[in-house]
A and B are shown apart, each in its own frame.
Chain A
Amino acid sequence: MSGSQARQARADRRRSFLRLAALVARRDYLRTVRRRGFIVGTAVLPLAIAGLLGLSVVFAPGFEEQAAAPPEMALVNESGLQLVIPAGYQVRQYEQAEAREQLRDGRLREYYIIPADYPSNRAVLRAVAASRGPGLEDVQRRSTQQQALAVVLRATLLERQEIPPDVATGLLEPFLIDDTTVDGEGAPAPSFNAGFMLPYAFTFLFVMSIFITSGYLLQSVTEEKENRVVEILLSSVPPLPLMTGKIVGLGAAGLTQVAIWVATALLALPLLGQRFPDLAAFEIRPLVIALAMVFFVLGYLTYGAIFAAIGALAPGAREAQQYSGFFGFFAVIPLIFAGVFLTDPASPIVVALAIIPLTAPAAMLQILALTFEPPWPLVVASLASLGVFAVLAAVAAARVFRATLLLYGARPSLRGVVGAITARG
């Protein structure tokens, strides 16, 4: 064969490869996005946001404002002091017998008794119904009530010392914080509820999407194997374009899902910000979105290649799910260490998780969500590690795919799998 013929043959092979991969990708993409599970899964985020908005309208003025108001507190004052109740605090005073009766009837959940020798004896008694167990809501309620009681008693003691009201107010509430941007514009104060939870929600959704999409790939391969369609496919499409087409098609389905989520978030955030001031401070920067997409794609390629190989290796769908679960555990390790990411983003654990390929996608998505300026050296190192691993995983998976895809119902030996991965050609 002459040089020009060889070049022509190579070009023909390349065209055939791309045509076949595109055909497989198109079919798997359309088949996946028309699945009921995919449509429901994609609609979860928009529906959740719509639900949140709906609930906020129904329960106006808003959950957070309601939650911030101090709860009503029952008080039996035996000290003889004239209690000073600051504005906004709902304190109802009872006689001991009446409070006890209402507690017994269930009309009161608890009441506080300021003893006769207060303030020389600072022990304030809290009477509760005996049958109530300590739930989370009780703990929060007790904490809020005690903060309110502290304010009431401080105000009372300050008045007893004849401290002028404006001085007393300054002592009770020594500062007020106003958030501002560098441009001098007002900004709402962040809170743990929204400012921190939203980036985590996004990280979680991205990681979930990697797994849902890889799961579709696994399902697609095992289904074609179980239906015995795979041998017909392999007689038309060599293993590498077949696997490439599947990874691209199903990856595109995953990207479609993520794109819908991001678009929903971008559209909904201004609306949500009006109802929840905390959220107005949260913005998704284009650079972070772009980087997140890159990590999503590389993460999906890595797990997609591994899951495709598992689909080819596993004798059936059940075994395939078991094997993939083992690898899936790696991806959620960074979520288990979420506390470390929040408190110490420079910790060696965080850096290690960002560089180890199987944990890098979830780790870097968290880091990007939590930092204003991406930590570029870590981003580059993570991308390099993940990119190299993704290529190696794809090559190894293609070899395993070719060697084991036709072993219907049989479990290949570890030696056979290693042999397939290290084989030439």
Chain B
Amino acid sequence: MSVSPGQPIVLVREVHKRFGDLDVVRDLSFEIAGGEVLGFLGPNGAGKTTMMRMILDIIRPDAGLIEVFGGTPGLAHQQRVGYLPEERGLYRDVSTLDTLAYFGALKGLSAAEARRRAVKLLTDVGLAEAMTKKASELSRGMHQKAQVVSTVLHEPDLLIIDEPFQGLDPVNAQLLREMVLGQRDRGAAVIMSTHDMNDAQTLCDRILLIDHGRRLLYGRVADVQRAFSSGAVEVEGDRLPTHVNGLRSVSDVVPADGVVRFLLREEAEAADLFRELAALDADVRRFQVATPTLNEIFIRAVAGDPRAELVG
């Protein structure tokens, strides 16, 4: 089944999943289109892996709708999906090449084609000499690279990767980041779970922050940052105030290294501060609305910052 242009590859509407007495996923909705990387962010136990498994039809939701390639998840689409779980593994007593060829065959490739692609990709990631080794003989990094290769071997249209760069050295992490971006550029939709906010910021087009199974933030990275950016202004200059006295728009002032960081009150705008500084005859050389990092946004959103509702 193909997807019409503009139609999301994955569509999730008000999905709910309960394990025993615990609501693991609560009324979650989101979607992702081809050529896009969606970052799944959230604390441990937030429900990210459960949501991924439901998209893969490994487990089924108690309520709500999940559509993959315009149909229900399952057998019909599994050949178009690549999955790298957080709990990774290869057959310990089988050669890496044989294992990858088997995984490729399960994804619909012929045995010869799966083997040919595995040889090429393993060589590309520097595992040419390790491909005949058993998994038990590989280092952790080699193991992980082989796993990523197995995930993209069949050139999936939907790639679901759970903590893909965890435990990798910077060189290999960069190699695999490029591999993920290559899949996106090829037109695949990528859902990536990560705790690394730098990865989320640099790789993801959109993010979905989940906490206790509920959606806290959802949107384009720039939109989310914008929503949270009104909280602080960084100013460089002379005769700048170093305390809040007389500043109605500010709740806190933090001077550091020649820069003064003004935290705005909830109802205040950056322009209000600018006017107040002008009235105080401050000599302003730089006035910049501070863009919070995703890490800061993550912490604020999980702590209950009301601005999360703007992009929730």
Q: Judge whether B218 is part of the interface by a CB distance below 8 angstroms.
A: no
Q: Judge whether B279 is part of the interface by a CB distance below 8 angstroms.
A: no
- Could you tell me the distance between the alpha carbons of A233 and B106 in the complex, rounded to whole angstroms? 8
- Could you tell me the distance between the alpha carbons of A230 and B83 in the complex, rounded to whole angstroms? 12
Contacts A27-B102, A406-B58 given; indicate if A227 touches B91 (C-beta within 8 A): yes
Q: Judge whether B177 is part of the interface by a CB distance below 8 angstroms.
A: no
Q: Judge whether A425 is part of the interface by a CB distance below 8 angstroms.
A: yes
**Which of A15-23, A274-282, A318-326, A366-374 is the contact stretch?**
A15-23
**Which of B30-38, B72-80, B229-237 is the contact stretch?**
B72-80
Cβ contacts under 8 Å, B78 to chain A: 235-238
Contact of A17 among B53, B75, B88, B94 (CB under 8 A): B75
CB distance B76 to A12 under 8 Å? yes
- Could you tell me the distance between the alpha carbons of A23 and B106 in the complex, rounded to whole angstroms? 7
- Could you tell me the distance between the alpha carbons of A234 and B74 in the complex, rounded to whole angstroms? 10
Per-residue contact bits, chain A 220-248, to B (CB 8 Å; 1 contact, 0 not): 00001001111111111110010000000
Q: Judge whether A63 is part of the interface by a CB distance below 8 angstroms.
A: no
Interface hits, A1-47 → B, CB 8 Å: 9, 12-13, 16-17, 20, 23-24, 27, 31
CB distance A13 to B76 under 8 Å? yes
Q: Judge whether B92 is part of the interface by a CB distance below 8 angstroms.
A: yes
CB distance A232 to B57 under 8 Å? no
Q: Judge whether B90 is part of the interface by a CB distance below 8 angstroms.
A: yes
Question: How many inter-chain residue pairs (CB < 8 Å) link A and B?
Answer: 69
Per-residue contact bits, chain B 150-193, to A (CB 8 Å; 1 contact, 0 not): 10000000001000000000000000000000000000000000
Cβ contacts under 8 Å, A227 to chain B: 89-92, 135
Interface residues on B, range: 20 to 34
Contacts A231-B58, A235-B83, A425-B60 given; indicate if A16 touches B150 (C-beta within 8 A): no
Cβ contacts under 8 Å, B60 to chain A: 425
Contact of A20 among B83, B85, B89, B106 (CB under 8 A): B106
- Could you tell me the distance between the alpha carbons of A235 and B103 in the complex, rounded to whole angstroms? 10
- Could you tell me the distance between the alpha carbons of A234 and B106 in the complex, rounded to whole angstroms? 10
Cβ contacts under 8 Å, A408 to chain B: 87
Per-residue contact bits, chain B 97-113, to A (CB 8 Å; 1 contact, 0 not): 00000110111000000
CB distance A232 to B89 under 8 Å? yes
Contact of A236 among B76, B103, B160 (CB under 8 A): B103
CB distance B106 to A231 under 8 Å? no
Contact of B107 among A9, A231, A236, A416 (CB under 8 A): A236
Contacts A9-B76, A234-B56, A236-B106 given; indicate if A228 touches B81 (C-beta within 8 A): no
CB distance B92 to A228 under 8 Å? no
Interface hits, B42-60 → A, CB 8 Å: 53, 56-60
Cβ contacts under 8 Å, A233 to chain B: 106
- Could you tell me the distance between the alpha carbons of A298 and B75 in the complex, rounded to whole angstroms? 28
CB distance B105 to A232 under 8 Å? no
Contact of B81 among A20, A235, A238 (CB under 8 A): A235
CB distance A231 to B85 under 8 Å? yes
CB distance B85 to A232 under 8 Å? yes
- Could you tell me the distance between the alpha carbons of A23 and B79 in the complex, rounded to whole angstroms? 14
- Could you tell me the distance between the alpha carbons of A235 and B160 in the complex, rounded to whole angstroms? 10
**Interface size, chain A (Cβ < 8 Å):** 29
CB-CB nearest in chain B for A19: B108
Interface hits, A187-244 → B, CB 8 Å: 224, 227-238, 241
CB distance A235 to B75 under 8 Å? no
CB-CB nearest in chain A for B57: A238
CB distance A228 to B106 under 8 Å? no
- Could you tell me the distance between the alpha carbons of A9 and B76 in the complex, rounded to whole angstroms? 8
Per-residue contact bits, chain A 240-260, to B (CB 8 Å; 1 contact, 0 not): 010000000000000000000
Between A20, A224, A236, A416, the greatest number of chain B beta carbons within 10 A of the residue's beta carbon is seen for A236
Cβ contacts under 8 Å, A237 to chain B: 78, 106
Instruction: Output the least CB separation between B207 and chain A (Å).
Output: 23
Between A9, A13, A20, the greatest number of chain B beta carbons within 10 A of the residue's beta carbon is seen for A20
CB distance B105 to A23 under 8 Å? yes
Contact of A406 among B53, B83, B91 (CB under 8 A): B53
CB-CB nearest in chain A for B106: A236
- Could you tell me the distance between the alpha carbons of A227 and B105 in the complex, rounded to whole angstroms? 20
- Could you tell me the distance between the alpha carbons of A228 and B150 in the complex, rounded to whole angstroms? 14
Cβ contacts under 8 Å, A230 to chain B: 89
Cβ contacts under 8 Å, B106 to chain A: 20, 23-24, 233, 236-237
Contact of B76 among A16, A229, A406 (CB under 8 A): A16
Interface hits, B90-144 → A, CB 8 Å: 90-92, 94, 102-103, 105-107, 135
Contacts A228-B88, A229-B90, A229-B91 given; indicate if A235 touches B76 (C-beta within 8 A): no
CB distance A228 to B87 under 8 Å? yes
Instruction: Output the least CB separation between A224 and chain B (Å).
Output: 8
- Could you tell me the distance between the alpha carbons of A61 and B22 in the complex, rounded to whole angstroms? 77
Can you pick out 24 interface pairs between chain A and chain B where the beta carbons lie within 8 Å of each other?
Answer: A9-B76, A16-B79, A17-B75, A20-B106, A31-B94, A229-B90, A229-B91, A231-B58, A231-B85, A232-B83, A232-B89, A232-B103, A232-B150, A233-B106, A234-B58, A235-B81, A235-B160, A236-B78, A238-B75, A238-B78, A241-B75, A406-B58, A408-B87, A425-B60
Q: Which residues of A contact B (CB under 8 A)?
A: 9, 12-13, 16-17, 20, 23-24, 27, 31, 224, 227-238, 241, 402, 406, 408, 416, 425
* Contacts A236-B106, A238-B78, A406-B59 supplied; 20 other A-B pairs, CB < 8 Å: A12-B76, A13-B75, A16-B75, A16-B79, A24-B106, A31-B94, A227-B91, A228-B88, A231-B87, A232-B85, A233-B106, A234-B58, A235-B78, A235-B83, A235-B85, A236-B103, A236-B107, A237-B78, A238-B57, A238-B75
Q: Which residues of B contact A (CB under 8 A)?
A: 20, 53, 56-60, 74-76, 78-79, 81, 83, 85, 87-92, 94, 102-103, 105-107, 135, 150, 160
Listed from nearest, the 8 A-B pairs whose CB atoms lie closest are A228-B89, A235-B83, A236-B106, A227-B89, A231-B85, A228-B87, A229-B89, A234-B58
